[in-house]
Amino acid sequence: MSDIVKNRYDFILFFDVQDGNPNGDPDAGNLPRIDAETGKGLVTDVCLKRKVRNYVQLKQKDEKGYDIFIKEKAILNNSIAEARGSERVQAIENAADQTAKAREIMCEKFFDVRTFGAVMSTGENAGQVRGPVQLTFARSVDPIVTLEHSITRMAVTTEAESESQGGDNRTMGRKYTIPYGLYRAHGFISANFAETTKFSEKDLKLFWESLENMFDHDHSAARGLMAVRKIIIFKHDSALGNKPAHKLLEMVPNPELKNSEIPPRAFSDYQEIITPAKDQLPANITVRVIE
């Protein structure tokens, strides 16, 4: 691993969706998530981290140290048991020290454990680790509207189904989308937790790359057109930071609509997202923009 991250970061992620469902709620028939009181759309932190994991898995593939712990069809306890049964762990007599060593091995092997943390006491015990990278829910800048679409399938799955329908093979279904939504999420990177998991500068570079490109390799008919529009990164020159995160995040207001009487249907319907100028920033903090 390369050098461990020594600086604290706070960042803002803007992304949008057009004619798609960015994050369906399985408890509500897979409707797009929404704040019932404000009408604004929501996307969970878990959803965003899933996209990052998928990109890293695609980009790094079999590179040592960049496996993904939480992935499709993975049996989590098998990975934990493998770490717990390694020679490095078995050479230790004390049970608590064995758990600590197993946790260290899991951080070495899995990018997402090193980045987001994990609960690894679900069978064999490798303890728990709190990751340096944390994300909030994303919330849409303006209220969204959910549309329901009827869809048909001109085929059936079995002969019996065909006969029961009298040769009419059309199958009705439902699909939910929002016409457009611009979302904003906040993120935080702790240098102190990076020291615990050994989250490196190489890991950090890959994380920014993943955020920027995560939707380009996740296209589907259900999600419509999704794109990252801007990432604003505040870098502190220390591990503890030089200013409270909320004061930095408040320096970036949500963009206003060019015409407030017309509902947004594209990113171009908004005015430019304002990034603080260098002379507006607190001392010992720099800003980087990815767009």
Residue 67: name the closest of 114, 129, 104, 29 by CA.
Answer: 114
d(CA 124, CA 113): 16
Q: What is the reported pLDDT for 123?
A: 80
Strands (E), 190-275: 225-236
Give yes or no for residue 26 having a pLDDT over 90.
yes
Interval 213-269: pLDDT, tens: 999 999 999 999 999 999 999 999 999 999 999 999 999 999 999 999 999 999 999
Residue 18 sits at φ, ψ, to 5 deg, of -125, 125
Average pLDDT in the 17-22 region? 97
Question: For the residues of 171-198, what is the DSSP string, one character each?
Answer: EEEEEEEEEEEEEEEEEEE-HHHHHHHT
The predicted pLDDT at position 62 comes to 80
Mean pLDDT of the chain: 93
End-to-end distance of the chain based on CA atoms, in angstroms? 28
Angle formed at CA 276 by CA 275 and CA 280, multiple of 5 degrees: 175
pLDDT attached to residue 168: 65
Q: Is the pTM of this model over 0.75?
A: yes
Confidence of residue 169 (pLDDT cuts 50, 70, 90): low
Q: How far apart are CA 24 and CA 84, in angstroms?
A: 36
Res. 287: pLDDT tops 80: yes
Higher pLDDT, 153 or 24: 24
pLDDT band at 165, cuts 50/70/90?
low
Share of the chain above pLDDT 70, in %: 97
Q: Which residues pair with 283 in a beta bridge?
A: none
pLDDT tens-digit readout, 111-132:
999 999 999 998 889 999 999 9
Look at residue 156 in the predicted model and tell me its pLDDT. 75
166 — pLDDT class (breaks 50, 70, 90):
low
For residues 222 and 27, give the distance between their C-alpha atoms in angstroms, rounded to a whole number. 17
Please give the structure tokens belonging to residue 79: 């990975």
10 Å Cβ neighbour count for 177?
A: 21
167 falls in which pLDDT band (50, 70, 90)?
low
Per-residue pLDDT averaged across 53-64, rounded? 92
Percent of the chain at pLDDT exceeding 90: 84
The contacts of residue 63 (CB under 8 Å, 6+ apart) are: none
pLDDT tens sequence across 63-98:
999 999 999 888 999 999 999 999 999 999 899 999
Range with the poorest average pLDDT among 52-61, 149-158, 282-291: 149-158
CB–CB of 40/270 below 8 Å?
no
Q: Is residue 164 predicted with pLDDT exceeding 80?
A: no
* 182-192 pLDDT tens trace: 999 999 999 99
- Average pLDDT in the 12-41 region? 96
Written as six digits, the tokens of 88 are: 């490095």
Write the DSSP symbol of residue 114. H
* pLDDT for 1 beyond 70: no
Long-range contacts of 265-273 (CB under 8 A, 24+ apart): 265/18, 265/179, 265/180, 266/18, 266/180, 267/16, 267/182, 267/227, 267/229, 269/180, 270/141, 270/182, 273/14, 273/229, 273/230, 273/232
Query: In sequence order, what are the residues at sequence separation of 6 or more whose Cβ sits closer than 8 angstroms to the Cβ of residue 37?
Result: none
Please state the domain extents for the chain: 9-148+175-290
pLDDT of residue 173: 83
How far is it, in rounded angstroms, from Cα 131 to Cα 45?
14
Sequence-distant (≥ 6) Cβ neighbours of residue 194 within 8 angstroms: 4, 5, 6, 132, 200
